[in-house]
Every structure is written in C-alpha cells, then in structure tokens.
Copies of this chain bind each other. A is one copy, B any other.
C-alpha cells in the first residue's frame, strides 16, 4: 500500500480547522498541528489524529507539505523560524506576498482558498475555488495536484491577480456582510428582526449566479429616485456615519449605471 502524503498544519483557526478536516477526510496523514496555544493545537490535532505542538522547534521535518494557515500579520515572523530545506511550504493568505516564505524552504507557494470559514460550520471544499501560486514549476505542479485532490475548482494565479482577487473578495464578502449588519442595526432600533430580510438577502445572492450584478441592480439609487433617497437620508439624520455611507454607495450605484 502506498503510504499517504504527510501534511503539517501551522495554525488552528477557522481555515486551519476546515482545511485540516477536508485533508483528513481525503486520506492525507496530518502529522502535526502547531498553535501558539497548546490547548488549541490539542483540540484540532485530536480531530485530525495528529500530534499537537506549541513550539515551532518541535516541527518534524518529514512532511511533504507545510501549510501556514494563521493570521496574515503573523505569517512572516513564523516563516522566518522555519528551515525546511526542500519541503513545500505554503501560506493560505490572499494578501500576503509569497516571498515572505523564501527563507523557509527552496520550494514555496500560496494555497489560497476563496471562502469564509468558521470552526463550527463545515465547509465543502469540493466547490471552493483554490488559487495556487509557487516559486517554481515543480512546486506549482505538485501544489496543483494537491489542490485538485480536494477541490474541483483550482486556479493558478500570480501575485498581482491574487491581490486583485483578495480586494474584490473584501467587497463581495466582507462589505456585503457589513451591509447585512447595518440592516440588522437599523431594524433592531425598531425591534424588528433581520429574519424579515433573510429571504431577500438569499435571493439577492442567488440572482447573480446567472446574471451580472450590475444588470440586476434594483432600488432607489438604481432608478435615480431622488425622492426616496432623500427620505432615506432624512431617516438617517441622527446617524451621520450611516448617512454618509448611504450617500456614497448610492452615488456609486448611480454612476455605475
């Protein structure tokens, strides 16, 4: 029997958890899980039948791939502590340069899954686009093969494209979620529940599966209905920040048309 490929996971957060679970399910051997917190490392490694470590010096050197799935601003300092010779080292960030890994190993890259993760909510990796990039062809081929073993949607992108994708994802995901949060806040003041808007939110996201968002834009700004926009601005008169936001987004919709 072929021995399974060994993976080490550095990190124990939302992405590390979901990616670890997907790899484990796919038959990969997760060798070690590192976290600064021994407790967090233990919690995830138990699920993955891996060893828990909280000291990078204990990182074994016999894995095939090392996945750094930690906060963006911690990647560089962790990478500096790795001396993995020719093993493949990747980080999972949309915004951090691949080059921060160049002293960790001769073979490095990026393995960026385009999804938002929660520890509790199981992710279906099969449909998650994974953007990969590597510092050489051989690593790129291995990474592509690896990524395709868990996702049906793997794409090679360069650093410039990854930056654009990450920025676009901030608008499409983080900012749209904030629009939901504002809606909830506005309703809450009148003791109304966001449940009222959930079918609408779902349909808005569904609509663009087969249509360009700019083509299905609706609402007062989209028809340049100044009367309604003025009424809304008046409604927001006590919340200057939201009023400013309403104005700016509406203006952006009007000029996009």
Binding site for B on A (CB under 8 A): 71-73, 95, 114-116, 118, 121, 123, 127-129, 131, 153, 155, 157, 160-161, 163-187, 189-190, 192, 194-209, 212-214, 216-223, 225, 227-228, 231-232, 235-236, 241-242, 244-246, 248-249, 251-253, 255-256
Contact = CB atoms under 8 A, between A and B. Distances in A.
A200 to B, nearest CB: 5
Nearest to A219: B174
A58 B79 CA distance: 77
What is the count of identical protomers in the complex? Answer: 2
Contacts of A249: 175, 178, 245
Contacts of A244: 248
A170 B208 contact: no
Contacts of A167: 186, 232, 235-236
B115 A174 contact: no
A218 B185 CA distance: 18
Contacts of A235: 163-164, 167
Contacts of A204: 116, 172-173, 176-177, 205
A196 B248 contact: no
A235 B242 CA distance: 25
